Amino acid sequence: MTDQSDEPSHSSTDDVRPTPSQRRQLAAITEQQSIRDAVQAVSTDEEHLASLRSELFDVRRDDWRLLVSAHLRGRCLEVNAGYGRRSAVLADLVDDVYAVDPDRSKLRVLAAREDIDDEASITPIHASVETLPVARSQFDTIVADLTGCSYRTVTAHLHSLEQFLTTNGSLVVLADGITRHLGLPERLGLEQTQRDSQRPSVGRATAAGYRSVLQSCGFDAVNVLALFPTAQNVRFVLDATATDTARSLVSMLGAESGDNLRATLGTHAGAHLAQTGLLEPLYPSYCLVASRGPTPSPSSALSFSSPLLVSGRTRSVVLEYDDDTICGVSKIPNKSAHTPIIRRETRLLESLRETETGSPIAETLPEGHLTETRVGPVRTERPLDGTALSATLECTPEAFRRVLSTGVEWVRDFQVAFGDEHRLVRPAELERALTIPSLDLSPPAWAISHPIQTFSTPVHGDLHPENIYVQNGLDGTEGITVTDWEYGTPEGSPLVDAGLFPIHVGTACFGSVEAAVETLFCRDTEYARITADVMQEYGDAVGLSLETIYRLLPLGYIHRIALDWATRSITCYTGKLEERLERIERLWDLLDETRILVESR
């Protein structure tokens, strides 16, 4: 580690900031154990644990780089690198990363992290912007995280950093907008940041203000991306000046908010701001991209004309617009470790579409192709026609039955077309299928007490109403497209999809997985009777008993955990893994109650 002055840490805007003592403890443990174990050891409560995990592992916060990859190249200076989360994903795109941070403990963590590729060229440097031990014109790219800094400080740092760029270098800066300086995202519940009571000077902390500063620094080309809701919780990335993608963003947020009066008024107000361009100065966070001379264009760089990026845990989706209409869909891994997910999905879908089954089920699979790019393999698909099944779901028995039947009938037809012959699975083999030794996950004895008749089939792995699109034909027929196959595999248990789908439908109706399981499988309710009827019909068609279906409900979650663990996806380092493990234990605990309902039929 290159050592300089012992400066205080860059001002973090995360919810719960680790104390200097906790950061030193984290560094010491990481140097001896895994980063995952170290985080667990130093976290004092759930709030602190979630915040620290986000800062360490949540690469969705860095998804802006997928839209500016052409600017990321050569020697890269990263300012306020922190624990190295961003350093690792930058190293996938540039030759060398020089990771600067004033906090020595954070750099110790960066240097010791075993989850960063050994081949990544990352050099930790203990310094601040004011004490950078580098000469002028040394870097092709500078990436600076200046969130949490006042507008005046950001302006000073922009003027200071440009001297270190080469003649055709690019500067990428993360900065707060005026609404975040004023604490608006926190007040609206968009983030949980705890800020000081005194707000920093905001100046012209807008897209136009930052653009003007960068132009005064001598940059010929300046683009500004909006990060929404904030740079610490990036769900969407879009051109801050674009009105079509802004309208789409408002529409998506409105759909999430429901149809109450407050949400409706908010959506109308947001749509007006988007249409008139008034959202541009109001975004809470920005990604500023400035270059000298023509925009660099490395081979295989991504290029979009009017993109709206929607962040995901393992991959992000870029929706490309033309006159308010989606004209392209690109699915991109958000770190190099996630590239197998994109490849697996494409191979599976191509194989299924090429298989002769004599069934029209292949027509329900999305078409797409794979392109190799600087950020990894990108799967491009046609925009989907129709309406997501989730949009038609209402919390009434009739609507519940219709949605559940639509999805389960698709599962039935898919498995009849692609499934293998039935065979007897004995308890020892069943136990292996339900066990992940590295996570101490294993089934209770009663779940594997006797053999079952089942079969192997390709699986979707994440089947829920949002992934099923329904098209109504002029002749009254109904077409279906099933999308998002990132958890798909060519071989698995039929109960992965058959078990997960009812739980997802129930969760959409009753608000939580726990409420869904209680209502659908553990109590004698109308919804439980509907579920049993639909699942019995499915079981009769594919040759599975209702008792087997209910007994092995956790298989869907086990399937997803196993795939995530194999690729070391972000889910393995966040609370999502613990949440799914606890969910599996809860399902096992409810097994006796589900058996009672089954036996009473």
Residue 505's CB: how many other CB atoms inside 10 A? 29
CA distances from 304 to 64, 299, 330, 383, 431 (A): 13, 15, 10, 15, 48
pTM equals 0.88
pLDDT at residue 269 tops 80: no
Which of 40-49, 159-168, 292-301, 382-391 is predicted least confidently? 292-301
User: What does the pLDDT look like over 115-127, one tens digit per residue?
Assistant: 998 889 999 999 9
Whose tokens are 């592992």? That residue is 57
Given this model, what pLDDT does residue 24 score?
A: 94
Among 411, 225, 245, 221, smallest CA distance to 324 is for 245
Q: Using CA atoms, how far apart are residues 250 and 466, in angstroms rounded to an integer?
A: 19
pLDDT band at 259 (very low <50, low <70, confident <90, very high): low
Given this model, what pLDDT does residue 78 score?
A: 98
pLDDT at residue 267 tops 90: no
User: What does the pLDDT look like over 428-476, one tens digit per residue?
Assistant: 999 999 999 988 999 998 888 899 999 999 999 999 999 999 987 544 4
pLDDT band at 601 (very low <50, low <70, confident <90, very high): low
Given this model, what pLDDT does residue 6 score?
A: 42
Q: Using CA atoms, how far apart are residues 549 and 528, in angstroms rounded to an integer?
A: 14
What residue ranges do the domains of the chain occupy? 20-241+277-299, 316-381, 387-599
Q: Using CA atoms, how far apart are residues 394 and 380, in angstroms rounded to an integer?
A: 32
Provide the terminal-to-terminal Cα distance of the chain, rounded to the nearest Å: 68
Given this model, what pLDDT does residue 399 score?
A: 95
pLDDT band at 35 (very low <50, low <70, confident <90, very high): very high
Residue 191's CB: how many other CB atoms inside 10 A? 22
CATH tag, 387-599: 3.90.1200
Residue 265 half-sphere exposure toward CB, CA atoms < 13 A:
3
Could you tell me the sign of the dihedral formed by the alpha carbons of 405, 406, 407, 408, in that order? positive
Which of 28-32, 111-115, 472-476, 523-527 is predicted least confidently? 472-476
% residues pLDDT > 90 (the chain): 62
pLDDT at residue 7 tops 60: no
Note the residue count of the chain.
Answer: 601
CATH tag, 20-241+277-299: 3.40.50.150
Given this model, what pLDDT does residue 357 score?
A: 77
User: What does the pLDDT look like over 199-214, one tens digit per residue?
Assistant: 455 568 899 999 999 9
Q: Residue 377, preceding bond cis, omega within 30 degrees?
A: no
Given this model, what pLDDT does residue 68 score?
A: 94
Q: Using CA atoms, how far apart are residues 233 and 416, in angstroms rounded to an integer?
A: 42
Identity of the amino acid at 393: L
Whose tokens are 């697996």? That residue is 344
Given this model, what pLDDT does residue 417 score?
A: 95
Residue 549 half-sphere exposure toward CB, CA atoms < 13 A:
29
The separation between CA 510 and the C-alpha centre of its own chain, rounded to angstroms, equals: 24
Q: Average per-residue pLDDT in the chain? A: 87
Given this model, what pLDDT does residue 4 score?
A: 44
User: What does the pLDDT look like over 184-196, one tens digit per residue?
Assistant: 666 666 665 544 4
pLDDT band at 389 (very low <50, low <70, confident <90, very high): very high
Given this model, what pLDDT does residue 438 score?
A: 86
% residues pLDDT > 70 (the chain): 88
User: What does the pLDDT look like over 529-583, one tens digit per residue?
Assistant: 999 999 999 999 999 999 899 989 999 999 999 999 888 888 888 888 888 898 8
Contact 225, 298 (CB under 8 A): no
Given this model, what pLDDT does residue 194 score?
A: 45
pLDDT at residue 344 tops 70: yes
pLDDT band at 494 (very low <50, low <70, confident <90, very high): very high
3-state helix, strand, coil in the chain (%, to 5): 45, 20, 35
Q: Using CA atoms, how far apart are residues 592 and 601, in angstroms rounded to an integer?
A: 15
